[in-house]
Amino acid sequence: MKTRTYYLAKNLSAGVMLFGATMANAAVTILQSPGSSAVAWEAENYGAYLSDPREYWTPTNDAAASGGNVLYILGDNLTAVPISFVDYTIHFATPGTYKLYYRWRADAVWANADRFTANSIYIPTTFNANTNLTNYVIAASNGSDAQGNPSSTNYTVIGEPGLFTVTPSMVNPGAIAVLRIGTRERGFILDRLVLSTDAALNESGFNATLNSDIDIIVQSAASTYVAFEAETFKGAYLSDPREYWTPTNDSRGQRRRGAVRAG
């Protein structure tokens, strides 16, 4: 069974935020396209939250964000260890060495008062990290400040120096990797993330990397229907070997594919 996260509406505008989060868990897998060298997603989408009420991640609106929404660290400024986390579950299609890039900024409400605040999170050193501090490093964004050029209060794309390894076994059907990101400084705003085998991805390349698909069928906003191919890889099978569903080719199918009964 999958459980998902639902949040009440929030706004981020002119330094005024209205937060009304509810807490739950999410179970959505971000899917790398076959042959792709990257996986990308909006920070506020598809995360599962491990939250401490003292300081935690929460989605909110920001008109300047790539998708109009972001993840925001709310609460006390607890920097010694990560105390809350967002987990992103990923299925990779391409083995290799990946670098993490993200678009972020500091909330000016905090950074204008202290130029060195609201500028860092905890980044894991490996996939499937637990919550121990030894598995994390302070993000490279910590080197920015509100009086720098560019200012930390402006959206910036940054890459982490640490690399992530995707082994051949990690691209097997059903294999997943979890990227767990921890809180550090209140007022940190996380917009979008990209994991890429390009070790020198610039901002234009980051922006050109399309967001990846997910393992559930999503109805478009304002749509009155949802439609899909029966043999879609998003289907989950409960099979008895005596008779079962299996994808196959069919030239008469809409995309020359179909799902048939076997056995």
The Cβ of residue 247 has, within 10 Å, a number of other Cβ atoms equal to 16
- Asked whether the bond before 150 is cis by omega within 30 degrees of 0, the reply is yes
Residue 257: the pLDDT is 53
Identify which of 65, 61, 56 has the alpha carbon closest to the alpha carbon of residue 207. 65
The residues, any chain, with a CB within 8 Å of residue 38's CB and separated by 6 or more, are 32, 194, 195, 196, 197, 198, 209
Please give the distance of CA 39 from its chain centroid, rounded to a whole number: 9
Residue 216: the pLDDT is 83
| Alpha carbons 91 and 238: distance in angstroms, whole number | 21
Residue 258: the pLDDT is 52
Residue 23: the pLDDT is 40
Residue 262: the pLDDT is 57
Residue 18: the pLDDT is 39
Q: pLDDT means per 10 residues in the chain (263 residues)?
A: 33 38 60 96 96 97 94 97 97 97 96 93 98 97 89 95 97 94 97 97 97 85 82 76 86 59 55
The second-level CATH assignment, the architecture, of 11-214 is Sandwich (2.60)
Residue 102: the pLDDT is 98
Domain ranges of the chain: 11-214, 222-263
SS3 12: strand
pTM of the predicted protein model: 0.81
